[in-house]
Amino acid sequence: MKGFVEEFKAFAMKGNVVDLAVAVVIGAAFGKIVSALVDSIIMPLVGVLLGGKDFSGMSVMVGDATVAYGAFVQAVVDFIIIALAIFMVVKAINKAQSAMEDEAAAPAEEKPAEPSEEVKLLREIRDSLKR
């Protein structure tokens, strides 16, 4: 039992698991923000543009069943906004990483290498022969 607890502790404390947990919490909060944006601002504006229709209540009766397609339209708009926001964040991160890699790959200004002892000796010989 003790080995199981130790193994679980090692698993739970890995960086990837903690990062994933943080991402899920932030993603859930971001989803709520986007849903509020869509429900309170975007969909009413779309409704005004479409002649004052409220999408959240739009439905159609098919036999005895009610198909609430307005909620589906709202969920699609939520998804598109979330996907767009995530795309923009990932694009910005990729651009920053690319810039950092380019900067790291660029050779720093190199000082001229000190000539070897052989080159120094040959220069001394050349200079003495000139004299």
Q: Would 118 be classed as within a structural domain?
A: no
Residue 36: CATH number of its domain: 1.10.1200.120
Q: Would 129 be classed as within a structural domain?
A: no
Q: How far apart are CA 5 and CA 9, in angstroms?
A: 6
Provide the angle, in degrees to the nearest 10, between the axes of the packed helices 15-37 and 69-105.
Answer: 130
- Residue 107: pLDDT band by 50, 70, 90 thresholds? low
Q: How far apart are CA 89 and CA 77, in angstroms?
A: 19
Q: Would 61 be classed as within a structural domain?
A: yes
pLDDT, residue 15, reads 66
Total structural domains in the chain? Answer: 1
Could you tell me the pTM of the whole model?
0.51
Lowest mean pLDDT among 51-55, 70-74, 110-114: 51-55
Residue partners of 53: CB distance under 8 A and separation at least 6: 47
Alpha-carbon 129 to chain mean position? 67
pLDDT, residue 106, reads 65
- Domain residues for the domain of 74 are 2-107
Alpha-carbon 24 to chain mean position? 13
- Residue 112: pLDDT band by 50, 70, 90 thresholds? confident
Structural contact between residues 42 and 52, judged by C-beta atoms closer than 8 angstroms: no
**pLDDT tens-digit map of 2-58:** 888 888 888 777 767 777 888 888 888 888 888 888 778 887 887 788 777 666 777
**Whether pLDDT at 64 is above 80:** yes
**Burial class of 13 by CB neighbour count within 10 A (0 to 12, 13 to 18, 19+):** exposed
Q: Would 117 be classed as within a structural domain?
A: no
Q: Would 75 be classed as within a structural domain?
A: yes
- Residue 122: pLDDT band by 50, 70, 90 thresholds? confident
Q: Would 113 be classed as within a structural domain?
A: no
What angle (nearest 5°) sits at the alpha carbon of residue 28, between those of residues 81 and 24?
A: 115
**pLDDT tens-digit map of 79-95:** 888 888 888 888 988 89
CA distances to 23, 32, 34, 88, 105 from 29, in Å: 10, 5, 9, 18, 38
Mean pLDDT of 57-64: 84
